[in-house]
Structure 1
């Protein structure tokens, strides 16, 4: 006896459902492939200027306290490189303090960001307290010259990934709050 209320599934309807399920999972992959091939790249809302093309700074020798700076550290940590303009004074030190505060705001993740200052240490009042969080170094080859500001009493920054890739540049006059937001996105 057959139950008239029982639904019969034919092989044809089963295959149709299988194809629909496959299409649901395949559609985003196909869409991403088409967008990539067309050259579209998502534009993030980062506050720094992307360094295009990205470049490795692994070969850049920075003397930090008599030792070469290890771009690739023993654990994955980013490096925020502070590049002062000529005569780093009061305004420059204020920006350095805000950069340091952006690191402090990371709370338990603050250890995942290193602060490197490349240049002559500032001599303005209060600079000693700010510079305790920075490693002061020199760049004999001046590899960061294109990112260093030309204006007096200013500072720029370059964010370097743990694999020694320079990611973003923050030119002189950048918004330290924007830097803080970017750091909170990148370091979690």
Structure 2
């Protein structure tokens, strides 16, 4: 038996192990980072709803302006962005509602997978109310089950992003970033 043969075999095995290590190293690093609690790009811009709430299970009733009940579960799977207006919706409130409607439009071909629901007293200005009707369904939370999310500050808006099965995913307090809301919607609307 040639002594060069075991050396060649050992060298080939070493190369094979090094190649395997090159492919395994990123997976090992990702596992260590995950166990340490760090996961890139998983932080949303909204606040998670804890404990989790399902509006269907809670029988949360919203009566629309036309008198009908809002269906949390639609005929097709669509999410709902709920705008909760504080008292006296005026200039700042309308600007935020417009930014939210623009974020929906920015979803492009997926915009039909998101419904916009405004809960609160509509703006006093007739032109503003008419403009809102283009994008928003308006209604009232009959039992006040969402009052904990409604801002107390005049002329402000908070928002809830609700899954198509009625589960509230995240809350956006007054002053939220509409661009951050859009990033979150792009993550969950597929």
State the TM-score bracket (shorter-chain normalisation). Answer: 0.7 to 0.9
* Structure 1 residue 83, shift from structure 2 partner: 0.4
| Distance (Å, rounded) in 1 between the aligned partners of 2:121 and 2:189 | 29
> What is aligned with 1:103?
104
| Distance (Å, rounded) in 2 between the aligned partners of 1:31 and 1:111 | 40
> What is aligned with 2:93?
92
Does the CA contact (< 8 Å) of 1:160 and 1:168 recur in 2? yes
* Structure 1 residue 149, shift from structure 2 partner: 0.5
Partner of 1:67: helix, strand, or coil?
coil
| Distance (Å, rounded) in 1 between the aligned partners of 2:179 and 2:31 | 35
Gaps of 5+ in 1: 1-6
> What is aligned with 2:46?
49
Partner of 1:114: helix, strand, or coil?
strand
* Structure 1 residue 111, shift from structure 2 partner: 0.8
Partner of 2:84: helix, strand, or coil?
strand
- The correspondence of residues 36-75 of structure 1 with structure 2, limited to 5 A, is 36-42=34-40, 46=44, 48-51=45-48, 53=50, 55-58=52-55, 59-60=57-58, 61-65=60-64, 66-71=68-73, 73-75=74-76
Q: Does 1:112 find its partner at 2:116?
A: no
| Distance (Å, rounded) in 1 between the aligned partners of 2:40 and 2:47 | 13
RMSD: 3.1
> What is aligned with 1:167?
169
Partner of 2:52: helix, strand, or coil?
strand
| Distance (Å, rounded) in 2 between the aligned partners of 1:16 and 1:75 | 56
| Distance (Å, rounded) in 1 between the aligned partners of 2:40 and 2:72 | 32
Residues 99-142 of structure 1: CA distance to partner in whole angstroms, max 9, x if unpaired?
Answer: 11221222222112211112333332321221332122332343
| Aligned pair partner of 1:131 in 122, 133, 152 | 133
**Per the alignment, do residues 26 and 162 of structure 1 end up closer, same or farther by CA in structure 2, a change over 3 Å counting?**
farther
Aligned residue pairs, count = 180
| Distance (Å, rounded) in 1 between the aligned partners of 2:172 and 2:21 | 43
| Distance (Å, rounded) in 2 between the aligned partners of 1:98 and 1:52 | 23
* Structure 1 residue 75, shift from structure 2 partner: 4.0
Q: Which stretch shows the higher mean deviation, 26-35 or 58-67?
A: 58-67
Give TM-score scaled by structure 2 length: 0.74
* Structure 1 residue 150, shift from structure 2 partner: 0.4
Give TM-score scaled by structure 1 length: 0.74
